[in-house]
Chains A and B, each alone.
Chain A
Amino acid sequence: MADTYNSDSEPTTRTLLRRVLDTADTRTPRRRRSARIGVQKARLEMPLSSPTKMNVSRRSQRARSIDRLARVQTSGHLDEQTPRTLLKNILLTAPESSIMMPEPVVKPVPTPQVVQSSRRKSSQGSLELQLPELEPPTTLALGLLAPGRRKQRLRLSAFQQGVDQGLPLSQEPHGNANASSLTSSLNLTFATPLQPQSVQRPGLARRPPTRRAVDVGAFLQDLRDTSLVSPDPGKQAQLLARKAKNVDAIAMSFPNKSSAISGEDGVDLLQDGIDEEAEERMEENLSVSEVMDTTGTQGSVRTENSKGYREMTEAVETNEPKGSSEDEDISDRRASPELASNTTQSPQARRPQFLEPAPPSSTAVLSSEPLSTRLPPRARAPGSRPRQDPHKTGLSHYVKFFSFCAKMPMEKKAVEMVEKCLDRYFQHLCDDLEAFAAHAGRKTVRPEDLELLMRRQGLVNDQVSLRVLVERHLPLEYRQLLIPCAFSGNSVFPAQ
């Protein structure tokens, strides 16, 4: 059929089809199909039109449409070609920005071959000490190298520095790269130590390296800990000892000697409460405290310890209840003497109070957080949190909203009044929802119950629907969850 048709009628269509078939390369099956579909459509249309007496103009129009189809297809092919060719061209001709490419190193090789030897020497020097020795060779390098090559050299130099850190090399390309590093050093004299980092982790190139001030005091203490502490049976003992030593250090370095002494007493008392490890720790503490006496007088240690003290106090205040519980946890035998020690220490001055819960708090911080969940806290020590707190913090969200809506200053009593109102409101709300759900014979409260509630409250009318309120008052993310919306793929979210 197709052959007969092709043999028939206008040469224009035939030539067009031939053109289409020729241009339809083996690219994508889509193209073939579309070409075929176009062909089939044309074939279908033409036999339909041929029996009916149609005007030549219409046929020519159809031919033109087919022509356009063919053109579109061919142009589509062309369009498809050009981006590809463009990309290829880009890949071929673009300057080598990748650091790992060894090829571009070959390019600068032929040009400055004369000065290689001198550069090698200087490069070897640069390997050892970059900054001071770079100055004399840089003048040479500047004069010889083309300025256009600098960009490549910059990155290469970075790469080479990274490589040099790992591998010792003295090959030609590396020599050249080191020479290039000299030029880069001119531009970024003080940035050279930063570059290897950027090579290794390009994402962090912009960040300055975060360097924490070294806590010399803690470092020294740790050194002494490792030297002094004999292998204890339990890790807790080690940690306790270390932290007790830290606390002792703090106590020593603290300006008030009396408080320090009382703190020491407090620490000792605590340790007396703990049976087995007490003696060892006492010895260690005394020895370390003697050592720390000498170091504690140093100003730097003091400042660091004062900083650590501040941190500890913050940690203390947060961990006091934990600390009290953990003490009992660890000692495991005599809760009462520890409690007694705690309570005897509580009426003392504030600073020793901070100091003596410091060891239990620190132990709480380190080792006892998993333990805290196991044993319930027996006694709510004086530093216990009131239970209302999470409730009030949750309510505070609405209280803040109240003060925002009121636009006027409010008294504190008024704020408390608002909290009471909110509590009562929530009670009413829950009761109503329960009633509505029970009325519907359900045990789950659904959004329909909520809508009914709002309708009864008068918020939702025939004029104002729930969706309008949702759109007015809730942010987008919640709106999306509440109001069903149609998405692509014939799906509605949330499902109705």
Chain B
Amino acid sequence: MAVSGVLSQRTHVRRKAPRTFLRRLFRRQKPRLRLETGGDLLVHLNCLLFVHRLAEESRMNAFENKDGVIKKEHVLAAAKVILKKSRG
């Protein structure tokens, strides 16, 4: 029917999403719930965006302290802000 019904076996996705890992996490956390096929890709997208924001924030923190290396405190402060934002 469709041209590309399933990822053909030959195509190697360059930036792979750890789909089984995500599904296992979800199952461990919420054994009662189920996750749909497209859902875990969106979860991956969400994670990417979260990590992206976290990295930006911690980078800004490191710049503000005029530090060339990202340190634990920067990450911690950034995480506080971003986790609050992505609480939903």
**Chain A interfacial positions (CB closer than 8 Å to B):** 390, 394, 397-398, 401-411, 413-414, 416-418, 421-422, 424-430, 432-434, 437, 443-447, 449-451, 453-454, 456-459, 466, 469-470, 473-475, 477-478, 480-482, 487-489, 491-494
Contacts and interface: CB of A to CB of B under 8 A. Distances in A.
Interface of B: 1-5, 7, 11, 13-15, 17-18, 21-22, 24-26, 29-30, 32-39, 41-52, 54-56, 58-59, 62, 68-72, 74-76, 79, 83, 85-88
Contacts of A418: 54, 75
A157 to B, nearest CB: 38
Contacts of B70: 406, 408-411, 414
A186 to B, nearest CB: 43
B56 to A, nearest CB: 7
Nearest to A458: B85
Contact of B3 (A402, A470, A477, A493): A493
B15 to A, nearest CB: 5
B45 A469 contact: yes
A470 B45 contact: yes
Q: With a 10 A CB-CB cut-off, give which of B21, B45, B88 has the most chain A CB atoms.
A: B88
Contacts of A477: 7, 11, 13
A425 B17 CA distance: 17
Contact of B72 (A406, A417, A456): A417
Q: Chain A binding site: helix, strand, loop or mixed by DSSP?
A: helix
Nearest to A396: B18
Contacts of A445: 26, 33-36, 39
A494 B7 CA distance: 12
B54 A453 contact: no
Contacts of B36: 444-447
A425 B74 contact: no
Given A414-B74, A454-B46, A430 B51 contact: no
A473 B48 CA distance: 8
B48 A425 contact: no
B5 A493 contact: yes
Contacts of B51: 398, 401-402, 405, 422
A408 B55 CA distance: 10
B52 to A, nearest CB: 5
A474 B56 CA distance: 19
A370 B58 CA distance: 48
B88 A405 contact: no
B58 A475 contact: no
B4 A480 contact: yes
